[in-house]
């Protein structure tokens, strides 16, 4: 494995039992004066662009930018992110301690011999090592980190 490791700590629980990533979003929304509870919210709402900038993540591989989406879901073990990868950028082999569900929004994403296009998705179980690479036009991906729970049944299960 490479020296880079993903940071899954946003799904850790704080001293009061709250999920750190959920607390992070709530704090940013409050600081920006955004009241998003129990209403339809969009990325075009006043203050959301600034909130998203505030939720930018650091420590990513070169060529990758990532931010947490400024929403709080009713599931406290699910955090939502957007990632942009420059053309040809490779994320080295790594494993997460959480489930990762990705959906390609724009461009292409290579995984092994597969090329995922807009609308294609991948689900990565905790502990499974993998690497990905953006295609020649780069790639934008929406994804969720989900804290491990019971293992879902597989095909035919």
The chain-wide mean pLDDT, for the chain, equals 90
More confident residue, 18 or 115: 115
Task: Characterize 112-140 residue by residue with b for buried, 16 or more Cβ atoms within 10 angstroms of its Cβ, and e for exposed.
Answer: eeeebeeeeebebeeeeeeebbbbeebbb
More confident residue, 3 or 34: 34
Has residue 22 been placed in a domain? yes
Q: What percent of the chain has pLDDT over 90?
A: 73
Residue 41 pLDDT: 87
Beta strand pairing status for 114-116 and 90-94?
A: unpaired
Question: What is the pLDDT confidence band of residue 148, given thresholds at 50, 70 and 90?
Answer: confident
Has residue 20 been placed in a domain? yes
Say which residues have a Cβ less than 8 Å from residue 124's Cβ, sequence separation at least 6.
Answer: 96, 99, 100, 101, 102, 130
Question: What is the pLDDT confidence band of residue 156, given thresholds at 50, 70 and 90?
Answer: low
More confident residue, 38 or 155: 38
Residue 134 pLDDT: 98
Count how many domains the chain has.
Answer: 1
Domain of 97 in residue numbering reads as 9-146
Has residue 127 been placed in a domain? yes
- Stretch among 38-47, 50-59, 104-113, 130-139 having the lowest mean pLDDT: 38-47
Q: Do the beta carbons of residue 37 and residue 52 sit within 8 Å? A: no
Has residue 1 been placed in a domain? no
Has residue 123 been placed in a domain? yes
Residue 153 pLDDT: 61
Say which residues have a Cβ less than 8 Å from residue 37's Cβ, sequence separation at least 6.
Answer: 72
Helices then strands, counting H and E runs in the chain, come out as 2, 8
Has residue 3 been placed in a domain? no
Has residue 2 been placed in a domain? no
Task: Give the CATH number of the domain where residue 139 resides.
Answer: 2.60.120.10
Has residue 151 been placed in a domain? no
Residue 1 pLDDT: 44
Number of other residues whose CB lies within 10 A of the CB of residue 17: 7
Residue 138: pLDDT above 90? yes
Q: What is the pLDDT of residues 46-102, one digit of tens each?
A: 999 999 999 999 999 999 999 999 988 888 789 999 999 999 999 999 999 999 999
């Amino acid at each position: 494995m490479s020296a880079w490791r993903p940071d899954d700590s946003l799904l850790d629980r704080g001293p009061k039992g709250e999920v750190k990533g959920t607390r992070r979003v709530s704090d940013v929304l409050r600081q920006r004066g955004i009241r998003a509870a129990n209403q339809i919210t969009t990325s075009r709402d006043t203050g959301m662009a600034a909130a998203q900038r505030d939720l930018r993540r650091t420590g990513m591989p070169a060529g990758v930018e990532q931010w947490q989406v400024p929403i709080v879901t009713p599931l406290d073990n699910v955090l939502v992110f957007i990632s942009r990868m420059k053309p040809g950028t490779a994320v080295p082999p790594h494993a997460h301690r959480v489930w990762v569900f990705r959906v390609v929004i724009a461009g292409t994403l290579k995984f092994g011999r597969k090329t995922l296009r807009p609308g294609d998705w991948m689900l990565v179980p905790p502990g499974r090592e993998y690497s990905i690479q953006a295609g020649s036009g780069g790639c934008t991906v929406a994804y969720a980190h989900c804290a491990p729970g019971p293992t879902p049944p597989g095909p035919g299960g």
